[in-house]
């Protein structure tokens, strides 16, 4: 009975990432294998990130998880895939001070409890699943003393959520689609680390923190089934754009980087419109942000599966100017407006 009292824990924090060449469409839904390569920039972990603590104890009778304090079901295939893949790679763990010894073969019979928090809106098109699954996989790997390289872990995180594989690295990251059927070469690689382009400033304008109406998973499936633009994009446009984007990142060439980023965001949303039934992730406010971006010289924008703007400036000076314009055209609500909003007065 005494031996049932111990709990071993590990905590990790992972930032979200913003794709500048978008992933949209899967060729295998179970293994989460994409139809094209993608490139993203990982944000600073102090802002949009997930923090996850995983715990193991012989007293736990089943795997359980809490997301932002609320228990969620772990029965979904994606959580099960990540847990299974990490358990498969688990090693011996010893805590001599506390007299705990877990043999690699013991992990199969032990259960985990997982508590995860996002410091930003969940499922509002700010890649919360990317930060969440990257963090879960990293924390579990730490707890179970998994020795694999980050690239190998990225293929586990990918099975939680495609974009999560890119959040295991900082800086600029490419998710290579791979071509093997088992997905073993569908992994993330770091193109440049977080110090490579430190001047770059990313501003996020939260237009809505409501959950999106069409989940990425459903949206992608419908685009793959119905959009001919998606086929052209994945086979012709993205391969070309990828080479240009890698070059722009390497040279810190902001004009090329900005042009490619905007073009790729536009094409992703064009694919959404080309889907049947059409998917509308951007709204009128998003469109106004795009117009504003064109008014401020040397800025770029990108939109994920939601209306929130991700605006990119080459340095703090331009970011300051952009922010000034944003606050002029989209002034924050007055205290009176805020009060009526909180009190539910819609008049
Ligand atoms: C991306 N998005 O590259 C693209 C751009 C949204 C638009 O990856 O089904 O949540 O879990 O693999 O990763 C959002 O899709 O989808 C996404 P699943 P995920 O960031």
Q: List pLDDT tens digits, range 253-280.
A: 999 999 999 999 999 999 999 999 999 9
Q: Kindly tell me the sign of the dihedral angle through the C-alpha atoms of 219, 222, 224, 230.
A: negative
Structure pTM? 0.93
pLDDT tens-digit series, residues 128-185: 789 999 999 999 999 999 999 999 999 999 999 999 999 999 999 999 999 999 999 9
Residue 146 lies in a domain: yes
Q: Report the distance separating Cα 245 and Cα 258, nearest Å.
A: 10
- Split the chain (347 residues) into runs of 10 and give each run's mean pLDDT: 79 96 97 98 90 97 95 91 96 93 94 92 66 97 97 97 97 98 96 97 85 87 98 98 98 98 98 98 95 92 94 96 93 78 52
Per the structure, the count of domains in the chain is: 1
- Give me the CATH number covering residue 94: 3.30.230.10
pLDDT at 45: 86
In a mutational test of the pocket of ligand 1, which residue from 127, 211, 280 has the highest number of ligand atoms less than 8 Å from its CB? 127
Taking CB atoms and a 6 Å cutoff, what residues make up the pocket around ligand 1? 19, 22-24, 32, 38, 127, 129-130, 161-163, 216-217, 268, 304-305
In a mutational test of the pocket of ligand 1, which residue from 78, 131, 280, 305 has the highest number of ligand atoms less than 8 Å from its CB? 305
* Residue 8 β-bridge partners: 56
Alpha helices in the chain (DSSP H): 77-88, 128-143, 150-158, 216-226, 228-232, 238-251, 254-273, 284-295, 316-329, 335-343
Neighbours of 19 (CB within 10 A): 24
pLDDT at 108: 93
Q: Which ligand 1 atom is nearest residue 158's CA?
A: 12
Q: Retrieve residue 69's tokens.
A: 């304090």
What range does the domain containing 293 cover? 2-329
Q: Report the distance separating Cα 64 and Cα 130, nearest Å.
A: 20
The upper half-sphere exposure of residue 274, i.e. CA atoms within 13 Å in the direction of its Cβ, equals: 19
Q: Which ligand 1 atom is nearest residue 220's CA?
A: 9
């Amino acid at each position: 009975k005494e031996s049932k009292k111990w709990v071993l824990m590990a905590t990790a924090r992972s930032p979200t990432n913003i794709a500048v060449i978008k992933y949209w469409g899967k060729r295998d839904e179970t293994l989460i294998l994409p139809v094209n390569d993608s490139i993203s920039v990982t944000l600073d972990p102090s802002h949009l990130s997930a923090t996850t603590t995983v715990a193991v104890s012989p007293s736990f009778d089943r795997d359980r998880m809490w997301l932002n304090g609320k228990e969620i079901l772990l029965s979904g295939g994606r959580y099960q895939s990540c847990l299974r893949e990490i358990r498969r790679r688990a090693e011996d763990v010893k805590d001599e001070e506390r007299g705990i010894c877990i043999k690699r073969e013991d992990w199969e019979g032990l259960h985990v409890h997982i508590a995860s928090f996002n410091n930003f809106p969940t499922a509002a098109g700010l890649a919360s699943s990317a930060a969440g699954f990257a963090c879960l996989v990293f924390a579990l790997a730490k707890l179970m003393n998994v020795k694999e390289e980050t690239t190998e872990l990225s293929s586990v995180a990918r099975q939680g959520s495609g974009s999560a594989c890119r959040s295991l690295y900082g800086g600029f990251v490419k998710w290579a689609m791979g071509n093997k059927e088992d997905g073993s070469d569908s992994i993330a690689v770091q193109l440049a680390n977080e110090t490579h382009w430190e001047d770059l400033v990313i501003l996020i304008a939260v237009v809505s923190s409501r959950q999106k109406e069409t989940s990425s998973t459903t949206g992608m499936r419908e685009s793959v089934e119905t959009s001919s633009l998606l086929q052209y994009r994945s086979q012709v446009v993205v391969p070309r754009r990828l080479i240009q984007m890698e070059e722009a990142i390497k040279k810190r060439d902001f004009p090329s980087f900005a042009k490619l980023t905007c073009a790729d965001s536009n094409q992703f949303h064009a694919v959404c419109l080309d889907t049947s039934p059409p998917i509308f992730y951007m709204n009128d406010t998003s469109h106004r942000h795009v117009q504003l971006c064109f008014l401020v010289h040397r800025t770029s924008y990108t939109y994920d599966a939601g209306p929130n703007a991700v605006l990119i400036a080459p340095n703090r000076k331009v970011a300051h100017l952009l922010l000034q314009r944003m606050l002029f055209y989209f002034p924050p609500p007055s205290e009176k407006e805020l009060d009526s909003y909180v009190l539910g007065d819609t008049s």
